[in-house]
Structure 1
Amino acid sequence: MGIRGRAVFASILIVLLVAGGTAVAVVTTVGTWVYSVARSQAQDQFTQEARRIQDAHFFSPRQIDASPDMTIVVDGRIVRLGTAKSSDLTADLTSTNHTDLQVQRRTKGPYRVLFGTQVTVQGPPGSGGLQVQLYSVRPLLGVHDKIVSIIKVVGICLGVGVLLGALVALWLSRYIVRPLRRIDRAAARASDGDITVRLGPQGAPELEQLVHSFNGLMDTHEHSLQQSRRFAADVSHELRTPLAALLPAGEVLQEESASMSPDAREAAGLLHAEIHNLARLVEDLIEISRHDSRQTSLSLDEVDLVGLTRQVLRHRGWSEVVSVRTAQPHVPVVVDRRRIELVLANLVSNAVQHGRPPVTVALGTEPGRTVLEVTNAGEPIPQQVQDRLFDRFYKGETARTRTQGSGLGLALTLENVRLHHGTISVHSDESATTFRVTLPNSAERQDN
């Protein structure tokens, strides 16, 4: 559960505990008060009736004028049965010669109360008075409805409180999480290589130190990276001058190697190969430095990708070992011809050198894009190697510490594909390894 979910859950829990406890206290207190008021009213009515009966004159118990709900008991005998039934008149209630009002709450059914008292009713002149016990079970009208209404109101208020608490917690968590998400997005951009990303004010004073530290880190990183790129570019350009002299010297040695001794011939061949490797490395470094400094640009033109692929294979001497597979005789695409040639050459060279035949180049189209796939049947590439294949100077095979490759080919391929707003991916299993390039149907020049 994230920060927002936890905040909302905690807010709802607090509201339920506080407001719920308050609601229970309110319902209990108000319910008791409503019950007490209703009972007092019923008790007053019963007391007034008992006094009226006590003040009247009757010649016999049957003449006692009382309301129909009044149960009258004389000398332990029920003279008239009202709402108080025989089962209500317990021995404890009727055995005591009580004159004080007796009150018992009935627990079954709606709110009801049993009232009981004993009065002396005056008989004929000269006769003694009658000791009469009066009982009545009377409902407390409206108590149930009022308590239910109170519970409903409190329940609605509690629900509204929970909703408002959740909304406030959601707003507060969003206020807290939003700058954190901006920081996360900025960190993700930085990890993807965007060294220009910076954070602005986040609105929360507590985050200002984090923003300041992040921006300081990015300033330091950008400065170091620029220094490294400048160094690589300067070294590459400085190496061009001695290379310009070494290349023709190497060619001369290679031409004269036939007249040399075997050891000298081998040394001349090694020197010739290493000079060309160094020249390729320098050119790759210069090209990668142009991408880093955003000095690259696209020279777009409509190109037949099928014809371009066959031309690259023919010029590199791969026509016999690499086949072209396409369902269309022509696949037109708007690209920078030179850069797509490099993409094709690097991918096919990688498949030929490090894979096994058959090597195929598949060309086709999908809605909105052109697809280029280079496949070979070599050993599967481990996932940890796939994750780093497009890193600069990375060589997947530990034994390849010294090869003809500079470790920049796939990195340059990635940069050239990105420059066309395309994508490149690799999929490798036991059956084959495939590099897949997608190019939008209408590439636009990218300002660098």
Structure 2
Amino acid sequence: MGIRARTVIASIVVVLLVSGGTAVAVVATVGTWVYSVARSQAQDQFLQEARRIQQADLLAPRQITASPDMTIVVDGHITRLGSAKSADLTPGVTSTNHTDLQVLRRTRGLYRILFGTQVTLRGPPGSNGVQVQLYSVRPLLGVHDKIVSVIKVVAICLLVGVLLGALVALWLSRYIVRPLQRIDRAAARASDGDITVRLGPQGAPELERLVQSFNGLMDTHEHSLQQSHRFAADVSHELRTPLAALLPAGEVLQEESASMSPDAREAAGLLNGEIQNLARLVEDLIEISRHDSGQVVLSLETTDLVELTNDVLDHRGWLDDVRVSAQPHVIAQVDRRRIELVIANLVGNAVRHGRPPIAIDLASTPSDTVIEVTNAGEPIPPQVQDRLFDRFYKVETARTRTQGSGLGLALTLENVRAHHGRIGVHSDESATTFRVTLPNSPKRQGN
């Protein structure tokens, strides 16, 4: 889960906890207040009616005029049944020591209250009056609707708060994540080999130290890489002078090997082979140095890739080992010498490390020219495929002295990139295929 998602979720949780707690407290407080007000209003209404009955000039209880919901009890007998039923008039209710107009309140269900009181009516002359108990079960009108309305308002406010919190969290996370995304893209470019990438101000002071560290790291890396490239180029050029003397000497030894003793002949052959390997290594290093320093300039010309491929195979003696599958002519604008090296390196790699049948497929579309080299050798493991084009990388260390310097595929990659193309490898149990795609685009007119 990313920073943005975590920020939004955390913000929503905080808003829910704070606003939810506040909402519960508000609903509880308002609900209690509404209930209390409604109960007081119902009690006042009941008490007013009881006073009216007490103040009436009545000579007998049966002459009482009261609202239909009023239950009247005289001397323990119900003389009139209203909303308070017999089941409501339990001993605990009727045995209460009533005082005139002292109101008894008992809950009877949700938002319903049983009210009870006693009044003394004027009796016959010479008597102390008649004690009458009045009971009524009355609903607390409007309480439910008001509480529901409060809950709706609180729920809407809570929803708005959550949405606002999520929007603020999104904005804040964007403010935080966007500089990190720029840094991530810059790091990706650096990992792809772009040593010129640098980061500008990111807006957040907290990120400035990270930006400075990244730029400092890239400066150090660029300087070290330039030093390494310069060292490799200088060594390669310095080796050219002794090689210029060693190559003719090796050729002389090779020519005179027939007159040598067997041991001397073997030593001469070994020496001449190592001189040739060293010469190829030096030339490859010099070529790599040109790519690293940006000194490679393409010499584009209209080239028939079928003819070029056949020339490469013929020159290296691979015509009988490699099958070419193509249209009669595959024309492309390429640097002939560099594409010749690409084909030679890929086919040479297949000949040395793969197994027959080995095939080259050439094809051209309106947008691309495709070169595929396929062999039936052992599949290349995925972890090895990721490093095949690294410099000096060899699949088997045992091949170090006999199978080249490890720069062939690296130079192939550089020459394909110089044409703004791409190269990839696919390997499974059936075959291993290297695929080169060169775009038919005017942007290839330079490196």
Q: What range describes the TM-score normalised by the shorter chain of this pair?
A: over 0.9
Q: Are 1:4 and 2:20 an aligned pair?
A: no
Task: Note the 1:273-292 alignment, pairs <5 A.
Answer: 273-292=273-292
- Return the alpha-carbon distance in structure 1 between the equivalents of residues 440 and 401 of structure 2: 39
Per the alignment, residue 418 of structure 2 pairs with 419
Per the alignment, residue 347 of structure 1 pairs with 346
Q: From the superposition, tell whether residues 365 and 79 of structure 1 become closer, same or farther in structure 2 (CA, over 3 Å).
A: farther
Query: Alpha-carbon deviation of 1:366?
Result: 6.0
Per the alignment, residue 103 of structure 1 pairs with 105
Query: Amino acid of the residue matched to residue 102 of structure 1?
Result: L
- Return the alpha-carbon distance in structure 1 between the equivalents of residues 399 and 442 of structure 2: 36
- Return the alpha-carbon distance in structure 2 between the equivalents of residues 208 and 342 of structure 1: 46
- Residue ranges of structure 2 left out of the alignment (5+ in a row): none
Per the alignment, residue 444 of structure 2 pairs with 445
- Show CA shifts across 1:306-365 (max 9, x none): 222222212221111000123x33333332222111110000001111111111112224
Per the alignment, residue 205 of structure 1 pairs with 205
Percent of aligned positions with the same letter in both sequences?
A: 81
Per the alignment, residue 66 of structure 1 pairs with 66
Q: Which shifted more, 408-417 or 276-285?
A: 276-285
User: Does the 8 Å CA contact 1:122/1:130 hold for their aligned counterparts?
Assistant: yes
Query: Alpha-carbon deviation of 1:382?
Result: 2.9
User: Does the 8 Å CA contact 1:281/1:406 hold for their aligned counterparts?
Assistant: yes
Query: Alpha-carbon deviation of 1:447?
Result: 5.5
Per the alignment, residue 295 of structure 2 pairs with 295
Query: Amino acid of the residue matched to residue 38 of structure 2?
Result: A
User: Does the 8 Å CA contact 2:378/2:429 hold for their aligned counterparts?
Assistant: yes
- Return the alpha-carbon distance in structure 1 between the equivalents of residues 75 and 50 of structure 2: 17
- Aligned to 1:47, the other structure's residue is in SS state helix
Task: Note the 1:335-374 alignment, pairs <5 A.
Answer: 335-365=334-364, 368-374=367-373
- Return the alpha-carbon distance in structure 1 between the equivalents of residues 150 and 438 of structure 2: 69
Per the alignment, residue 334 of structure 1 pairs with 333
- Return the alpha-carbon distance in structure 2 between the equivalents of residues 446 and 121 of structure 1: 119
Query: Alpha-carbon deviation of 1:119?
Result: 0.4
Q: From the superposition, tell whether residues 443 and 259 of structure 1 become closer, same or farther in structure 2 (CA, over 3 Å).
A: farther
- Return the alpha-carbon distance in structure 2 between the equivalents of residues 125 and 368 of structure 1: 124
- Aligned to 1:391, the other structure's residue is in SS state coil
User: Does the 8 Å CA contact 2:300/2:445 hold for their aligned counterparts?
Assistant: no
Q: Which shifted more, 147-156 or 244-253?
A: 244-253
Q: Which shifted more, 57-66 or 266-275?
A: 266-275
- Aligned to 2:84, the other structure's residue is in SS state coil
Q: Which shifted more, 167-176 or 221-230?
A: 167-176
TM-score (norm 2): 0.94
TM-score (norm 1): 0.94
- Return the alpha-carbon distance in structure 2 between the equivalents of residues 39 and 281 of structure 1: 101
- Show CA shifts across 1:216-236 (max 9, x none): 111111111101100111111
Query: Alpha-carbon deviation of 1:266?
Result: 3.0
Query: Amino acid of the residue matched to residue 225 of structure 2?
Result: L
Query: Alpha-carbon deviation of 1:240?
Result: 2.0
User: Does the 8 Å CA contact 1:297/1:445 hold for their aligned counterparts?
Assistant: no
Q: Which shifted more, 200-209 or 25-34?
A: 200-209
Query: Amino acid of the residue matched to residue 391 of structure 2?
Result: R
- Aligned to 1:86, the other structure's residue is in SS state coil
- Aligned to 1:231, the other structure's residue is in SS state helix
Per the alignment, residue 268 of structure 2 pairs with 268
Per the alignment, residue 41 of structure 2 pairs with 41
- Return the alpha-carbon distance in structure 1 between the equivalents of residues 93 and 415 of structure 2: 103
User: Does the 8 Å CA contact 1:300/1:336 hold for their aligned counterparts?
Assistant: yes
- Aligned to 1:445, the other structure's residue is in SS state helix
User: Does the 8 Å CA contact 1:57/1:123 hold for their aligned counterparts?
Assistant: no
Instruction: Count matched residues.
Output: 445
- Return the alpha-carbon distance in structure 2 between the equivalents of residues 69 and 227 of structure 1: 104
Q: Which shifted more, 25-34 or 391-400?
A: 391-400
- Return the alpha-carbon distance in structure 2 between the equivalents of residues 404 and 144 of structure 1: 90
Per the alignment, residue 307 of structure 1 pairs with 307
Query: Alpha-carbon deviation of 1:174?
Result: 2.1
- Return the alpha-carbon distance in structure 2 between the equivalents of residues 139 and 204 of structure 1: 62
Query: Alpha-carbon deviation of 1:446?
Result: 6.8
- Return the alpha-carbon distance in structure 2 between the equivalents of residues 71 and 33 of structure 1: 29
User: Does the 8 Å CA contact 1:335/1:443 hold for their aligned counterparts?
Assistant: no
Query: Alpha-carbon deviation of 1:70?
Result: 1.2
User: Does the 8 Å CA contact 1:347/1:410 hold for their aligned counterparts?
Assistant: yes
- Show CA shifts across 1:383-422 (max 9, x none): 3322221111111112112125121100000111122222
- Return the alpha-carbon distance in structure 2 between the equivalents of residues 184 and 403 of structure 1: 41
Q: CA RMSD in A?
A: 1.9
Query: Amino acid of the residue matched to residue 12 of structure 1?
Result: I
